[in-house]
A and B are shown apart, each in its own frame.
Chain A
Amino acid sequence: MLIYAAIAIAFLILVLGLLRKPQPLDPDEALSKKIYSPSIGNGRWLDLSERIFDPSDAQWLAEELAFPRLAESLTLGRKRLAIRWLETLQASFDEMVRTPDPTPSEDLAVSSAGSWRMLWLTIRFKLLVSYALLVVRLFGPYHQLIPSFSWLPFSRESEPRFRRAALANNRSSP
């Protein structure tokens, strides 16, 4: 009984609290957020990720120059950068999701299938980023994020075909 009473009171307080008008965003705060989340359309920002998640530098330090401690330090720095990059990606994505439709449709049934597809893409992306963040935090930036499926017979058969298709795609692309 007490639990339900507490639920009811907490719920009413929550409702009243949430229904009050939100304060307009402070321009300074908005600016700092903007700095924190760069535009995804910026190609250089995406190229940076190639560098962050590339293990060749650390491997070169550890194996060819025989500086294991330096390689370890580099990996640690890259891990911090990778986390920051993924968090920024998430922030930019949230910013994009919050983009309102300039021509809102009054008919709710319009393009229902398209809306469901977009929702699926949004959820899929959020799950992927959360998973990537978890793996980078636990195992570092150079861990193989997708577990190997080589023990499955179908993957062994399909792998060469998949690679051939990928190679063909790469050759045909400019």
Chain B
Amino acid sequence: MHIVGIAIGFCVFVLEGLLILRGMGSRVFRLFPLFYSYVIYCFCWVVGMYLISWLDPQAYPSTYWICYLVSILVEFTVLVEISDHIFQPFPAIRKLGRALTVLIAAGLGLFYILPTILGSAGRSRLLLEFALRASVTKAIILAVLFYMARHYDCQMGKNVRGLMLGFSIYVGMNVALMASAQAFGSALFARILWFMEPLAFTLCLLVWTVSLWRLAPMPSMRAFSTVTERDCEAVTLELNRFNSELTKFLHK
């Protein structure tokens, strides 16, 4: 089992390194700054953990859990990155993804995650519950983004699709694993679940590496377009016109 852990850790290290090197070599790094900041954080975490286990093994568990807690929060930057890119071609709703992500995260953070932190359960139980609820929140945000993307016929490029697919696999597996750990107790976690989460992350990294290997252009927006393209200012004017027309009727 120890070998499995080392092998997964090595895979994570290699894939993250590849992702960063490839990103720096192409324009992908500039286009997805928040995502790459997250990958760099994970890379530093892996390297730091190896160093700590070698230099000060006593400090390893506490450092690991602190970094793990921070990573739960840092993962929200991936969602912000995804949401920024989904609606990028549409000037009228360019910021819709970010607004949805921030609003859902703040709402669920306040009413769904925060009560767990304030609860008086044991430390391990509290950590598990916090990770589970944070994962459910991320899953909800992803589902809403998927729905809105479908609603507005957004055709995502290969890069963004890969980001979403990889993160969805990771979040979906996280929810299932955390819920299993909560239901069946620490014995199951000690036997199987401890390496399942890094495995899910490795799978996610694999999808990200393949999809971000090279910069993919955005697909043409529609196979059969019935509208002519206008620039941002024209859309703003049209929006103002819509609003004034409707307000006029409301004031009648």
Contacts and interface: CB of A to CB of B under 8 A. Distances in A.
Interface of A: 1, 4-5, 7-9, 11-12, 14-15, 18-19, 22, 24-25, 27, 30-31, 33-34, 40, 46, 49, 53, 89, 93-104, 106, 108, 111-112, 114-119, 121-122, 124-125, 128-129, 131-132, 144-146
Interface stretch (B15-23, B62-70, B112-120, B175-183): B175-183
A163 B242 CA distance: 23
Contacts of B155: 22
Given A18-B150, A22-B153, A33 B246 contact: no
B143 interface: yes
Contact of B92 (A27, A97, A112): A97
Contacts of A106: 30-31
Contacts of B251: 145-146
Given A8-B176, A24-B223, A108-B84, A121 B239 contact: yes
Interface in B163-193: 164-165, 168-169, 171-173, 175-176, 178-180, 182-183
B89 interface: yes
B124 interface: no
The CB with the most chain A CB atoms within 10 A, among B165, B180, B239, is that of B239
Interface residues of B, number: 66
A121 B95 contact: no
Given A11-B175, A30-B224, A116-B95, A99 B146 contact: no
- Secondary structure call for the B interface: helix
Contacts of A14: 143, 146
B139 interface: yes
A4 B165 CA distance: 20
A135 to B, nearest CB: 9
The CB with the most chain B CB atoms within 10 A, among A40, A114, A118, is that of A118
Contact of B223 (A1, A25, A111): A25
Given A1-B179, A100-B229, A119-B96, A53 B252 contact: yes
A5 B95 CA distance: 32
B250 to A, nearest CB: 5
Given A12-B172, A25-B223, A119-B94, A125 B218 contact: no
Interface in B207-234: 218, 221-224, 226-227, 229-232
Given A1-B179, A95-B227, A101 B242 contact: no
B234 to A, nearest CB: 9
B235 interface: yes
A73 B2 CA distance: 80
A114 B249 contact: no
A27 to B, nearest CB: 6
Contact of A4 (B178, B245, B246): B178
B132 interface: yes
